[in-house]
Amino acid sequence: MFYKITTLFLLLSSVQATQFSITGPCSKKPVFKTQVNTVNTNVGELSVRVFDENQIQHLSSDYGVSQLMNSPIGIDSMEILSDTVMRAHGWCYSVDGEVPELLMNEVKLNGNESEINWFMGYSTYIGDPQTGEHQWVGQCEPTHLLEVNPFPQYCN
């Protein structure tokens, strides 16, 4: 019995609180921060739970986030730079500074993560209307690092 209690205590004591934050499109400083327990969950379940518990406006499911805090979505999240270049902005997440190439419900958490951060990011589309050739460049590049912010109305 003593062995079971000691083992349980050691397992529970190795779990740390994880910082969960949201970084908006305007600054690297988070607009929301809290501490969470990440044991036996995934990024999707955890994120929806944190948004709901903290009354953070969102359009999301357990596999993706379309909108947070009334951010632009759809065509309003597109930035047309020229007749051949545009940026598509949306919500991305990182776990301990790494951006997984997985849907958020596919990233299992084990309780040892130190940080989960949601941030607005973008990918750049470059197309040639003459040839039809096109490519997407970059993925989840942080919007707040752009020299000119495409969404100044959200930067109060």
Q: Quick check: 59 and 91 in contact, CB under 8 A? A: no
Whole-number Å distance between alpha carbons of 77 and 87: 8
- Residue 51 Cα distances to 10, 32, 55, 106, 147, angstroms: 30, 10, 6, 18, 29
Which one is the CATH code of 15-147: 3.90.1280.10, 2.170.130.30, 3.30.470.20, 3.40.50.2300?
2.170.130.30
Kindly report the backbone phi and psi dihedral angles of residue 11, in degrees, each rounded to the nearest multiple of 5, phi listed first.
Answer: -65, -45
User: pTM here?
Assistant: 0.85
pLDDT in tens, the chain (156 residues): 545 544 444 444 455 789 999 999 999 999 999 999 988 899 999 999 999 999 999 999 878 999 999 999 999 999 999 999 999 999 999 999 999 999 999 999 999 999 999 999 999 999 998 898 999 999 999 999 999 889 888 886
